[in-house]
Structure 1
Amino acid sequence: MRGVVGAQASVASTATAPELSPAAGTAPRAWWGVAAAMFAIAWGGNEFTPLLVMYKNHGLSVTTVDVLLFDYVLGIVPALLIGGPLSDRYGRRRLMCPAPLIAGAGSLLLAAGAESVAVLSVGRVLSGVALGLAMAVGGSWVKELSQQPYSAAAVGTGARRSAMSLTAGFALGAGIAGALAQWAPWPNSLAYLVNLALCLAGTAWVARAPETLAPQENPGRLIDDLKVPVSGHRRFRGVALPVAVWVFASVGTSYAVLPTLLADQVRGAPIAFSALLTVLTLGTGFALQSMARRIDRPGTARTSIVALILVSAGMVVAAVAAATLTLWVALVAALILGAGNGMGLVAGLQEIERLAEPGDLAGLTAVFYSVSYIGFGLPALLAFLHQAVGAGYPWMLGAGALVAIACLAVVVRNYRVRG
């Protein structure tokens, strides 16, 4: 995406408004509203995950349910790819403020459509559209609100705030949805209605966040904005993308594959166990994100290497859990895969922050997340291979570990490639 005409002038002009002045005391908290909307949207994006077991128990096939999990990628990727350049042209506010309302509409359809695969699919796509906007536009907005003149935070703070807002929403949304579906009334709908309320609150809060980019007066052709030349940079291809492949493939393995394999071992509370795996996975990821700064060394690929080591180890443990059907082994796998997810997400976003020019930030973030979310197709792929050719899950997960190790080798080779 091309640079924004007059970007520096637009930032300076917003900084002159009294409510945005750092001296007024509100500027350091300017990012909170955007982060709150991202949190609510991420909650809606992941509340479906622990309910996979419930839908399977209602008679839907494993492949159908895993495809429903993947359906929201059909909304995420287009929203990521076009939302970023549109926000570069028209400002962050116009693209981000509708996102929590879209997420709320998706949750409403999911609440009403338990008996219809088509309605569930549309609800998942809408959840994906909202999440794509939150990642590409919201992530860029938080990054810009975490630097001068809105904040004096250190470089990389915006990436961590963005990653932690999303991961917290993913984890809490899944945990509370699983608990409500297991023990509360209206198991098919209550969790989604809770998210609808959160999305309405997030809409009100994000509307108060200051704009950081003025609309372009002569934006030119949109097709030109869709180009992201820096995505061809060797460091992006050799460090960020190999991590992106596993950011969500790792967690998809943990909370979409393992709960199904172990459902017979927890017959009393299969939805709650699925929620537990999800919370452990994403909670560990959230905790590791706050530690990433201590591991990160600019000019190296240290954080990415740690992430892929964790993912590789986690896939091995997941294969053992699938072979032995042992609950505690599955819990260990969830912890390790969650750590790999959290470290990988921050590693990728920090690489983007260092590589991207202001006009390329949203676009490069979109490319990273688009590749990341393709990983959510892994559970559906494994289910298809299992049903079509009889491939065993332990062997398939072991093969996944080998792919992760190959990605690790690519990053090691590009360890000191300059940004």
Structure 2
Amino acid sequence: MSSRRVFASVVFFLVTAGWAANHFASVLVALKERANLDALLVNSAYGIYAAGLFPCLIAGGLLADRFGGRFVVITGAVVAAAGNVALMLSHGTFALLAGRFVVGLGVGLVVSAGTAWAARLRGASGATLAGIFLTSGFALGPIASGIIASLVTPLWVPYAVTIVLSAASVAVSLAVGDVPNTRPVSAPSNAHPAPHVERSSMKALATSVPVAVWVFASITTTVIGLSARVAHYFPTGVFMPGIAAGLGFGTALVLQALGRRFAWGPYSGAVGALSSALGMLVVGVAGPAPSLIVFFVATLLLGTAYGLCLRDGLLDVDTYAPVAQRGRVIGVYYVATYLGFGLPPLLQWLEPRVGPSLPFFVLAALALSSAAVRVVQIRSGYLDRR
């Protein structure tokens, strides 16, 4: 069995999982415009996905450590498709919340077990490629759904596309199969590690989590929050999440690829957290009615934060996590990244109480603190991924 074909099936799972999770960013705008649904409800439907995601990120990692990734990932793809089927059939309050919750359950299994599976096949290179292909799915989903929703009136069509893609990923994996776990423990692909790297789950999380929290906190800020503030510049706001996703995730993809090609060291994680701080600051200063220039500048900064923080955190996990515990550590790492999905409904709730800017100033200060923590870890030698 060709390991190359197996790895291709893994990244196909990750692309379709990202698509299944994030295509709703464009659909929710169409729901607000066409079904007159409350903004807090649709933002909550977007965010409740994380509530389903968290336990399955952990469970997926644990099960991947115990049984291997393939069965877990196939199960996750089926569950995510089932959640999108529920959303396709009804847009009532219960269906929106329950469907997105179920999508989160499935995507959580795919993300943690799929990343662990990719790392098993190709070491640190596999882990970073997993992040790149997951990012591709997150970008393509809202772009495609935005285009489809603008051209085709029935809102079931974007759901049908992601359901077919999830089913195709399962079919491909069933045809390709898996390869035995024969890969030895490998050093990270980005550097020349110290001869005796201390491997512990605690160290893996202590180094990766300070940057992890700014992964989706950054990108959801632009795809959901900032895009809504500039939607009035266009006849329909359904395009804005796709534009934000294309620019933000596109920036992240370029930087992830460059970081992999040129072996950027751990300071890139500090740069990512700093970029998040600057992006949040720009959003806060711009207030409730930012210009399009502000939108593009903030999206570039927040996309940079997503890309650098995701890549560097995954490399920390691959470097320091014990191989037998890699899946569960990846699960916890991704839980930290997905905390950001709770931001849209939180910010929606806070805005009438504290204004449109103060929360972003607080987020900027916290992101700056994370950058400082990482710099201290590197300079003290605690983070010695060299």
TM-score by length of 1: 0.82
Query: Does the CA contact (< 8 Å) of 1:80 and 1:133 recur in 2?
Result: yes
Structure 1 position 261 matched with structure 2 position 261: no
> Shift of the alpha carbon at 1:51?
2.4
Counterpart of 2:368 in structure 1 is 405
Query: Does the CA contact (< 8 Å) of 2:60 and 2:110 recur in 1?
Result: no
Query: Does the CA contact (< 8 Å) of 2:24 and 2:46 recur in 1?
Result: yes
Counterpart of 1:205 in structure 2 is 172
Deviations 1:376-409 (A, max 9, x none): 111111111123x2x2222321221111111111
Query: Does the CA contact (< 8 Å) of 1:251 and 1:338 recur in 2?
Result: yes
Counterpart of 2:205 in structure 1 is 236
The CA distance in 2 between the partners of 1:289 and 1:356, in whole Å, is: 21
Structure 1 position 101 matched with structure 2 position 67: no
> Shift of the alpha carbon at 1:77?
0.7
Counterpart of 2:136 in structure 1 is 168
Deviations 1:202-256 (A, max 9, x none): 0011222314459xxxxxxxxxxxxxx93422x631x311111110000110011
Deviations 1:339-391 (A, max 9, x none): 1101110100000000112111101101100111111111111111123x2x2
Query: Does the CA contact (< 8 Å) of 1:137 and 1:362 recur in 2?
Result: yes
Counterpart of 2:351 in structure 1 is 386
Q: Which amino acid aligns with 1:338?
A: G
Number of corresponding residues: 363
Counterpart of 1:284 in structure 2 is 251
The CA distance in 1 between the partners of 2:180 and 2:47, in whole Å, is: 33
Query: Does the CA contact (< 8 Å) of 1:314 and 1:336 recur in 2?
Result: yes
The CA distance in 2 between the partners of 1:241 and 1:338, in whole Å, is: 18
1:370 to 316, 319, 335: 335
Distance 1:384-1:160 versus aligned 2 partners, 3 A rule? same
Structure 1 position 86 matched with structure 2 position 45: no
SS in structure 2 at match of 1:291: helix
Structure index of larger Rg:
1
Query: Does the CA contact (< 8 Å) of 1:53 and 1:259 recur in 2?
Result: no
Query: Does the CA contact (< 8 Å) of 2:116 and 2:326 recur in 1?
Result: yes
Counterpart of 2:96 in structure 1 is 120
* Identity between Structure 1 and Structure 2 (%): 29
Q: Structure 2: 5+ residue runs without aligned partners?
A: 183-198
SS in structure 2 at match of 1:146: helix
TM-score by length of 2: 0.89
Structure 1 position 178 matched with structure 2 position 146: yes
Query: Does the CA contact (< 8 Å) of 1:93 and 1:211 recur in 2?
Result: no
Structure 1 position 74 matched with structure 2 position 51: yes
> Shift of the alpha carbon at 1:30?
2.5
Deviations 1:316-336 (A, max 9, x none): 222244354212211221121
Counterpart of 2:196 in structure 1 is none
The CA distance in 2 between the partners of 1:363 and 1:158, in whole Å, is: 17
The CA distance in 2 between the partners of 1:158 and 1:357, in whole Å, is: 16
Q: Which amino acid aligns with 2:64?
A: S
The CA distance in 2 between the partners of 1:409 and 1:249, in whole Å, is: 18
SS in structure 2 at match of 1:414: helix
Counterpart of 2:213 in structure 1 is 245
Distance 1:230-1:53 versus aligned 2 partners, 3 A rule? same
Counterpart of 1:296 in structure 2 is 264
SS in structure 2 at match of 1:60: coil
Structure 1 position 192 matched with structure 2 position 159: yes
Counterpart of 2:21 in structure 1 is 45
Q: Structure 1: 5+ residue runs without aligned partners?
A: 1-18, 20-25, 148-155, 215-228
SS in structure 1 at match of 2:382: coil
Moved over 4 A (4+): 211-214
Counterpart of 1:6 in structure 2 is none
The farther-off stretch of 315-324 and 189-198 is 315-324
Counterpart of 1:274 in structure 2 is 241
The CA distance in 1 between the partners of 2:276 and 2:145, in whole Å, is: 26
Counterpart of 1:29 in structure 2 is 5
Counterpart of 1:225 in structure 2 is none
Matches within 5 A, 1:290-369: 290-293=257-260, 294=262, 296-297=264-265, 301-369=266-334
